[in-house]
Amino acid sequence: MPAAYPRCPRNTSVAAEADTFLGVPVQVGSWELVDRRYRFKQLASQGLTTVIADGRPTIRYRGVWSIPRRLRAQGWVHIGDPGSCGGYVFDAYEGRSGAGSKLYEVVTPFGDRCDYEHALDRTLDPPELFNNSFAAVSPDGQWMVSGEWGATKRLLVFPTPVLNPATRANPGVLWLGGTIDLDRAVRNVQGAVFLDERTLLCATDDHGTDAHASLWPVPRQLLAITLAEGLDTLPARGSVECVGSLPTPRCGFGAPEVEGIDYQPTTGDLRVDIVPRFPWNLLLTAIYRFRSR
């Protein structure tokens, strides 16, 4: 490794974060950075979710090696940021470019797997895209929010597979329930999580900063979406606010990539999965943990 490369990063506290990652903010709105941990990229670079079973929380990570062999053989080549509710884990899969459907897989508390395929809804304006699936489950377990890549003014809402009784009438098939129509455009949302029944936090990998392409005053935003009503009436309306810019290491080369997001209500911990710059991105992904002041 060339001598010009910075030293390999370590798991650090907030104080070391400021020293090691020159100028990295330790505050994102009201969220204060508590620590940063590293995990093996292939198993943790796409997202994370807290699963509560028997009253104990466990964090489940997802990376490129998390795709089961049988699903990869069927053409599902990308796994997104997962969601969870009541011990159930919801994984979002994408096919190759030009695919006509998405896949959402449910892993039950007993280890069973149930696959739900969603044919892209072409009646939407513009038509639904195949890419950038993620899963965020509402606190009541009835609705699952997902998204699309690029700039958009909507999020997609599905009845939660298995948990919503509407999905049991036609097992294995998932239909679009409706949309959350946003008052401002968002771009490259990589993951979302519910803080409560009316509030979603989204992590974006939006790098736009120039005057013509920028949607927000800072890149790689943490966005808060406040729902005007609950999701039982669709389409729903959402008001978008930029909480702040997510911390990204300045050492290394190239651009970091913001991935998934998770909120653990029992502890108040907010975690964001960020793939660091080269050369650390070859092996590691960084998990930033925040708590609200």
- Residues 62, 79: Cα–Cα separation, whole Å: 7
Share of the chain above pLDDT 70, in %: 91
Confidence bin at 212 (pLDDT 50/70/90): low
Answer yes or no: is 1 within a domain. Answer: no
- Residues 156, 158: Cα–Cα separation, whole Å: 7
Higher pLDDT, 43 or 213: 43
Answer yes or no: is 85 within a domain. Answer: yes
CA-based end-to-end distance of the chain: 41
Residue range 153-184, pLDDT digits in tens: 999 999 999 999 999 888 999 999 999 999 99
Q: Is the pLDDT of residue 13 over 50?
A: no
Answer yes or no: is 163 within a domain. Answer: yes
Total of domains in the chain: 1
Answer yes or no: is 2 within a domain. Answer: no
pTM over 0.85, yes/no: yes
**Domain around 201:** 12-292
What CATH number corresponds to the domain at position 118? 2.120.10
Note whether 143 and 137 are within 8 A (CB): yes
Answer yes or no: is 6 within a domain. Answer: no
Answer yes or no: is 60 within a domain. Answer: yes
Note whether 129 and 149 are within 8 A (CB): yes
* pLDDT (0 to 100) of residue 132: 82
Residue range 223-275, pLDDT digits in tens: 999 999 989 999 999 999 999 999 887 778 888 999 999 999 989 999 999 99
Answer yes or no: is 258 within a domain. Answer: yes
Confidence bin at 133 (pLDDT 50/70/90): confident
Confidence bin at 5 (pLDDT 50/70/90): very low
Q: Is the pLDDT of residue 68 over 90?
A: yes
* pLDDT (0 to 100) of residue 48: 98
* pLDDT (0 to 100) of residue 9: 40
Residue range 135-146, pLDDT digits in tens: 999 999 999 999
